[in-house]
Homo-oligomer: A and B are copies of this chain.
Amino acid sequence: MLSTQPVSHEAGRQRQGRLWSNLKEVCDLLHLPPISINSEELLFQHVQFKTGQRVHTIGQPFDMLYVVNSGFLKTVLIDEFGNEQVLAFPMKGDLMGVDGIHNKTYSSEAVALSDCDLVLLPFKKLTTLGRTHVELENMMYGVMSRELVREQAMIGMLGALSAEARVARFLVTLSERFSQMGYSSKLFNLRMTRHEIGSYLGLTLETVSRTLSAFNEIGLISVDQRTIGIKDADALKSLRRLPPSRTRSKLPARAKAAAAEATVPLLATL
């Protein structure tokens, strides 16, 4: 489902020995409808990070958002004992740094898991520009809301799914992302360790390893170290195996009033 427009594969152009992208290219990257701004002149600088480098750290003053143009990263929280909690594995098209707006300080740390090329979006520049370009402003709100929805889905997954289901969904999501990026959805390399996957999924590295081996056993995937082959995507997708009886939705008796109309125009959905 990639745009087939003649954007250079490595989006951006050289200038002063450095890559720059215009707003339309950034929108493409974020999978957003392009914005009609006389924007050929409005360029955003790229930056490169090497494997292991930190893009931003916790507590660092916030002024930039980042869009991944190529490469793989992780974002992590670090607790008071130095333990890492992986929050996400940003890759091409993902936005980073939104958590820094509040408090003017990044609340997470972003680390490159491979060499990366990121587009720099100076936040001030964006908001200023947004004030005169409704579309851009809407895009900003939209992207932030999208992040929020993603995190809600993550919470749902951590709260309700078994280890197997989490690993299965992780693989499916990765596969879809790779496919979006134009890589094979059937065969790819993990850029992160079992440990990092485990942290991301709320599991230990051993459980991740064992679960992958088990999927391999029953022919859902093939595993060789970091190389994953997806053999039965449908089975992976439908693998739920959630702790069953939990959390069945039902309105309490006291809620019968809800049938009545609300105090304000309110659609009677459901």
Contact = CB atoms under 8 A, between A and B. Distances in A.
Contacts of A77: 152-153, 155-156
Contacts of A154: 155
A242 to B, nearest CB: 7
B82 A248 contact: yes
Contact of A101 (B85, B145, B266): B145
A54 B258 contact: yes
A219 interface: no
Contact of A127 (B45, B60, B137): B137
A147 to B, nearest CB: 6
B246 A83 contact: yes
Main secondary structure of the interface of A (DSSP, over half): mixed
Interface string A237-270: 0000011001111011011111010111011011
**Count of identical protomers in the assembly:** 2
Given A83-B246, A84-B248, A202 B159 contact: yes
A37 interface: no
Given A148-B151, A199-B159, A51 B247 contact: no
Contacts of A48: 263
Interface string A75-90: 0111100111111000
A47 interface: yes
A249 B83 contact: yes
A144 interface: yes
A50 interface: yes
A102 B151 CA distance: 13
B53 A99 contact: no
A48 B78 CA distance: 41
* Those 9 A-B pairs whose CB atoms lie nearest each other, nearest first: A52-B255, A101-B145, A102-B145, A57-B269, A159-B202, A158-B158, A151-B151, A102-B146, A52-B258
